[in-house]
Amino acid sequence: MRHVISLLIENESGALSRVSGLFSARGYNIESLTVAPTEDLSMSRMTIVTTGSDDIIEQITKQLNKLVEVVKVVDISEAAHIERELMLVKVRATGKDREEIKRTADIFRAHIIDVTDASYVVELTGNQGKLDAFIGAIDPALILETVRSGVCGVGRGDRVLKV
Amino acid sequence: MVLSGAEIVIRCLQEEKVEYVFGYPGGAVLFLYDALFQQDQVRHVLVRHEQAAVHAADGFARSTEKVGVALVTSGPGATNAVTGIATAFCDSIPMVIISGQVPTAAIGQDAFQEVDTVGITRPCVKHNFLVKDVRDIALTMKKAFYLARTGRPGPVLVDIPKDVTMQRCEFEYPKEISMRSYNPVVKGHSGQIKKAVQLLLEAKRPMIYTGGGVVLANAAEQITRLTRLLGYPITNTLMGLGGYPFGDRQYLGMPGMHGTFEANMAMHYSDVLLAVGARFDDRVIGNPAHFAEEPRKIIHIDIDPSSISKRVKVDVPIVGDVREVLEEMIRQLEAGEVRPNPDALAAWWKQVEEWRSRRCMAYKNSDEIIKPQFVIQKLWEVTGGEAIVTSDVGQHQMWAAQYYGFDKPRRWLNSGGLGTMGVGLPYAMGAKLANPDMQVACVTGEASIQMNIQELSTCRQFRLPIKICNLNNRYLGMVRQWQELFHGGRYSESYMDSLPDFAKLAESYGHVGIRVDRPADVEGALREAFTTYKNELVFLDFQIDATENVYPMVQGGKGLTEMILSAEDL
Ligand SMILES: Cc1cc2nc3c(=O)[nH]c(=O)nc-3n(C[C@H](O)[C@H](O)[C@H](O)COP(=O)(O)OP(=O)(O)OC[C@H]3O[C@@H](n4cnc5c(N)ncnc54)[C@H](O)[C@@H]3O)c2cc1C
Ligand SMILES: Cc1ncc(C[n+]2csc(CCOP(=O)(O)OP(=O)(O)O)c2C)c(N)n1
Ligand SMILES: [Mg+2]
């Protein structure tokens, strides 16, 4: 099962390697991991997308909690939550492809944020499925690069991860 | 008061009431050694190899309840310390390791004796720090000691660049410490405890299984009270030996790979299992799938939530300090009216006694050749069962665990989790310094002792009258046993050729060496060591039966009930 784990961690150097080291040392999967400081600069928020049986996910959250610098851990995928990922796709855009890509971008509510006479950079946010769908909708031969940020997540409504 | 970083480190050690630092100097820690030199509150023990420094500090911690402290230089000093750190980590031993680092400006430049110590040790410490500013030293040291001794204990490393030890700042040692990201649970959930007590009282085939957590929590008294109150059988893991008195009728011996028949059968066929500060290690429950076949309810008390339901599914988890939780259980039991069902308990004890009557620890003694079990039994007699016994890793370790009856905690020091050959002598050094009035014996093998034999020199310098009992079988005995049983008797590289004359070797370090060849001389030699040479280190080199194996045995991957009880079972 796929799970989205959010955590708050002290913003110390090496904190990220403690988390990533834990996953590799114990053989847990990481699908994606994103991290950046929060509004309180002494803390970072991390979103980890992982897969595993219930037992493994239980161990993952326990092991994360055990890290001395980890302040709080929640599995936000246990209840209603929102996931978003940012993607930048550079595509070859010449001739009639230019119009076609523009149209597809509009349908996905993506933005074209860089234009040259031969290429576009398309910016798109959404859940993983939407980004995958966009990639699927574009002729693979036109894709020059794709950059994805990995998933950020937050619980819906009253569920707040805060110290 | 304005002090240098080095002086601050030493002042912190003084504030923490550290008596001994085990260490080895080098370029990156010269200022620290200079500061050590200029005071006499914290004493330094100069070992002969950094691995031994960490082990000795670890042995000091195991035999007391204090935090062990080691000090090593950057680069090779730190890498030599890694085995010691990992050993302490696997057995949850509270320690602070201070390592020197190259100056901050040189970090990342492939400087002389630079290694990423924080990176290398990260997976085998409870936590570690790189101190980049002299003003952070005091708080970091405070945190290090706090982290090492609270919650699930463990080693904490503090890496300090040389320039930071030179810089100066105002020193004040923090009185209190709190960390928003670290709040170990101490008191158990009272609802869970209530459920556990109820379950225990309803049990028909109850069993108590305790481990290193009882020793670490100093809860031997509480577990003993609870066990007697309930009248249930109890087993102590290799790490938990001495948690419950060996000689007591309710004690079934050690469980696991080389545990007793009765302990393993009772573990397996219990209907309610109370696990206390024990982590269902693979050497204890064997194959977890086989263990899970028999239905039973499990209550698990542990301070580390990640120990619970890790290898076996637990029905009543209780997160908290063993001592606190046991106190509460005893309170609830004593306050309640309900007592264990006497009929069910009698029937269960009848079964347990039947298992016990197999006398799985019996062995055939000999007049011709020294049996290792006999040496350990004599060691127990001669020391009145009151010694601190350290061991290395191998067959001798198991015989010491099986045949030296430990009645009290912190008397048995060995490496259980990592299984590190070479710990025995440094553990004995740390234990002897911590307990100068106690007898300290190191049970070892001719292979293990050579992994830190250089410490005979340290023992001479610091006058440590340890008694080394070398069960010399000329083999990597434990390896040979597996090769005999599971690899067709092909003894690949397990013979120890070209052994030194250990008695002479000990003498050359200024100690007493005695070689013992005959069973009839075992007791006399031991008495000589503990009385005539009371104040000397004595190296007793027992030439034992090279073919002896450790039984009972549960083969790796097998279930607890699938024991080989003796060579006849093969
Ligand atoms: C050659 C060899 C053979 C071995 N054979 C055996 C064998 O036959 N039988 C055997 O038992 N072992 C054997 N071992 C040892 C085995 O590998 C494990 O080290 C050992 O079984 C673990 O012991 P434990 O479960 O008591 O846990 P420990 O490693 O001692 O862990 C202690 C547990 O208690 C918890 N704890 C710590 N402090 C507290 C506290 N204050 N409050 C609450 N909980 C706390 C910790 O979180 C941890 O979960 C062998 C080792 C070697 C090297
Ligand atoms: C550092 C280290 N290397 C290898 C091993 C694997 N090992 C376990 S027991 C053993 C043999 C120990 O021989 P000895 O000290 O003579 O003890 P004996 O088993 O003969 O009593 C070995 C090599 C280990 N535990 N530790
Ligand atoms: Mg040997």
| Four-point Cα dihedral B313, B318, B322, B327, nearest 10 | -130
Torsion angle defined by CA atoms of residues B368, B373, B377 and B383, in that order, rounded to the nearest 10 degrees: 100
Q: Give residue B393 CA to ligand 1 midpoint distance, Å.
A: 15
Residues 6+ apart with CB under 8 A from B129: B118, B140, B143, B144, B156, B157, B158, B159
Count of Cβ atoms closer than 10 Å to residue A53 Cβ: 9
Q: Tell me if residue B250 is catalytic.
A: no
Q: Is B113 a catalytic residue?
A: yes
Residue type, A22: L
Q: Which residue of A has its CA nearest to B180?
A: A71
Residues with CB under 5 A from ligand 3 (ion): B 445-446, 473, 475, 477
Is B141 annotated in the active site? no
Q: Which of B162, B297, B378, B467 is catalytic?
A: B162
Max distance between CA atoms of chain B, in angstroms, equals 74
Best mutation target among A16, A66, A70 (most B Cβ atoms within 10 Å) is A66
Q: Which residues of chain B have pLDDT under 70?
A: none
Distance from CA of B130 to the nearest CA of A (A): 9
State pLDDT tens for residues B60-71: 999 999 999 999
ipTM of the complex: 0.94
Q: What pLDDT, in 10s, does the model give residues A9-21? A: 999 989 999 999 9
Distance CA B221, CA B206 (A): 20
- The ligand placed nearest to the CA atom of residue B421 is 2
Interface touch A62/B306, C-beta < 8 Å: yes
All domains of chain B in start order, with CATH: 2-170 (3.40.50.970), 190-356 (3.40.50.1220), 372-550 (3.40.50.970)
The amino acid that residue A81 corresponds to is: H
Edge to edge, the sheet with strand A111-115 lists A111-115, A119-126, A81-92, A143-155
**Hey, what domains does chain A have and what are their CATH numbers?**
2-78 (3.30.70.260), 82-155 (3.30.70.1150)
User: Any idea which residue has 């062995």 for tokens?
Assistant: B363
pLDDT digits (tens, 9 = 90+) for A54-87: 999 999 999 999 999 999 999 999 999 999 999 9
Give dist(CA B535, CA B541) in Å, integer.
18
Out of A17, A55, A68, whose CB is closest to B181? A68
CB contact under 8 A, B181 and A69: yes
Which residues numbered 83-122 in A keep a CB inside 8 Å of some CB on B? none
Give the orientation angle of helix B322-335 with respect to helix B190-202, to 10 degrees: 60
Of B122, B179, B310, Cβ closest to residue A17? B122
- Give contacts of A58 with chain B, Cβ < 8 Å: 309
- Which residues of chain B have a CB within 8 Å of the CB of A62? 305-306
Pocket lining: B393 vs ligand 1, CB cutoff 6 Å: yes
HSE (side-chain half, CA atoms, 13 Å) at B27: 10
Q: Give the pLDDT band (50/70/90) at residue A53.
A: very high
> Residue A96 — very low, low, confident or very high, per pLDDT cuts 50/70/90?
very high
Q: List phi, psi (to 5°) of B180.
A: -65, -25
Report pLDDT digits (tens) over A102-124: 999 999 999 999 999 999 999 99
pLDDT at B569: 83
**Distance from the CA of B477 to the center of ligand 3, in angstroms?**
5
Whether B442 lines ligand 2, by a CB cut-off of 6 Å, is no
| Phi, psi (deg, nearest 5) at residue B216 | -65, -35
CB contact at 8 A, B541 and B502: yes
Contacts (Cβ under 8 Å, ≥6 apart) of B262:
B233, B252, B253, B352, B355, B356, B358, B360
Q: Which residues contact B39 (CB under 8 A, 6 or more apart)?
A: B10, B14
